[in-house]
Structure 1
């Protein structure tokens, strides 16, 4: 699923990669206007390094699309083979004590469901932030184009 129009993002990346403000690299000026979440750039005001996210269009696109966190399900207690072997019914005719086995699977599925619910919430928040940023970018583009 594409949340941001790739062509618009590339246009912004090209603008950022090719722009200087008062003879200084845009990375320095960009960080000055950020109140929080300043970007760690390896540059000085007058010398933008080649590994800076604002050095080129390609650097910016790689930086902006890089995820900030990886999906991890390590918090979920994954059932192990021995967890299920505990439910083998050696006294009855059935090989599995289905009640406990089903409860173990249900706990596992509930944990997964909670993780996916959190991810869905995070995605909804990201989509809202994306819409706000898109609106701001459109306003900036309008000002740059003189359409106010």
Structure 2
């Protein structure tokens, strides 16, 4: 083999792009994985928010059909917990605040019951650096109390 053929073959090896796909993958793959995890986190937050909205609406409706504030509060608490459970939401902590002031208005006047559900959703299982371990989501719903229904005070 002559020197010219040898140097030509060595030059081809140096200019070849073997191995560049591995380098490109090592650079691009972590970015793609982070983007995927962010998309999953965003989807979890949006989906959980919609489910918490639904739980607040269920709790407000349940509270508005009871005649006493105590019964309305108990019913709203259990309705919110049941709705979150049925929808598969696992909250790190849950809080349900109920304003039953509409149950004390006189018959013939419009009253409302307002429920606020707060749920802390887990994000720590996504293993994304910089992402908090939990996110607190809050939803408020109001339901009208039947104006002609008898109310106990």
- TM-score, normalisation: structure 1: 0.32
Higher relative contact order (CA 8 A, sep 6+): 2
Higher strand share goes to which structure?
2
* Bigger Rg, structure 1 or 2: 2
